[in-house]
């Protein structure tokens, strides 16, 4: 992806805006700046030069309809506690531990790898992980949906009590669903995984990484 282009979707609504993360540094101030632009009606916000800052886009709550793109590698707890049904948070690089933990509403898409405890204690919303993810993803998940297109680490969906955790067949690590009390842990063939409805709103970002699906033959072509 060419990060020198205007933010994706900048043609819709008010023009997109770029926030230079290193110039602000403190995540409280970064998130305040995000909210300010959302309240102004910006439809797309890009956080540029992200280098491990924690809690970016965390705790945002509102009825905005917008996309937040992170250029670089996010630190711990990206979009933790997000409660905004109309927001899509796109991590263009990797994410550290606890991404989307406590998610209530909204969509989080990770194009790179993710650390441990992705979607920890998640209550709602959607997470799409295009790359590999660390151990204990979906720990204590009670709602929402997690879709993993890459490899899942050990103990996926540990102590899950609700929601849905979906991964490609043969891509689950050891001890999946340990202590599971409810919810769904689903392993499916790639050609079915890539057709999931949850992927439709985010194909703009993940599409190039998906195989071409032949709907008539029901086969995936790399």
Q: φ and ψ at 31, to 5 degrees?
A: -70, -35
Q: What's the CA dihedral at 106, 35, 64, 21 to 10 degrees?
A: -60
Q: Where are the domains of the chain?
A: 17-206
Confidence of residue 198 (pLDDT cuts 50, 70, 90): confident
Could you tell me which CATH number the domain at 17-206 has? 2.160.20.60
The answer for residues whose C-beta is within 8 angstroms of residue 180's C-beta and 6 or more apart is 157, 158, 159, 160, 161
Structure confidence by residue, pLDDT tens digits, 71-123: 999 999 999 999 999 999 999 999 999 999 999 999 999 999 999 999 999 99
Structure confidence by residue, pLDDT tens digits, 159-190: 999 999 999 999 999 999 999 999 999 999 98
In this predicted structure, the answer to whether residue 145 has a pLDDT above a threshold of 90 is yes
Confidence of residue 209 (pLDDT cuts 50, 70, 90): low
Q: What pLDDT is recorded for position 208? A: 60
Distance CA 139, CA 122 (A): 8
Q: Which residue has the tokens 């204590």?
A: 140
Contact 44, 10 (CB under 8 A): yes
Q: What pLDDT is recorded for position 217? A: 31
Q: Which secondary-structure segment (H or E) carries 72? A: strand 66-73
> When comparing pLDDT for 29 and 5, which is higher?
29
In this predicted structure, the answer to whether residue 220 has a pLDDT above a threshold of 70 is no
Q: What pLDDT is recorded for position 6? A: 41
Of 133, 109, 115, 85, the C-alpha closest to 1 is 109
Confidence of residue 19 (pLDDT cuts 50, 70, 90): very high
Residues composing the chain: 222
């Amino acid at each position: 992806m060419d990060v020198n282009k205007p933010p994706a979707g900048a043609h819709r609504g008010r023009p997109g805006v770029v926030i230079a993360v290193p110039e602000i540094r403190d995540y409280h101030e970064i998130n305040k700046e995000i909210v300010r632009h959302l309240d102004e009606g910006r439809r797309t916000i890009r956080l540029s030069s992200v280098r491990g800052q924690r809690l970016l886009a965390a705790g945002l709550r509102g009825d905005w309809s917008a996309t937040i793109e992170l250029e670089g590698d996010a630190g711990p707890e990206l979009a933790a506690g997000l409660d905004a049904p109309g927001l899509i948070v796109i991590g263009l690089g990797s994410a550290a531990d606890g991404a989307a933990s406590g998610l209530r509403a909204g969509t989080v898409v990770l194009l790179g790898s993710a650390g441990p405890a992705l979607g920890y204690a998640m209550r709602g919303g959607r997470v799409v992980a295009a790359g590999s993810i660390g151990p204990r993803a979906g720990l204590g998940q009670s709602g929402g949906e997690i879709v993993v297109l890459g490899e899942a680490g050990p103990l996926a969906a540990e102590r899950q009590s609700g929601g849905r955790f979906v991964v490609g067949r043969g891509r689950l690590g050891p001890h999946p669903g340990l202590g599971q009390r409810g919810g769904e842990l689903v392993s499916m063939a790639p050609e079915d995984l890539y057709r999931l409805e949850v992927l439709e709103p985010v194909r703009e970002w993940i599409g190039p990484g998906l195989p071409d699906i032949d709907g008539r033959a029901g086969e995936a072509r790399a």
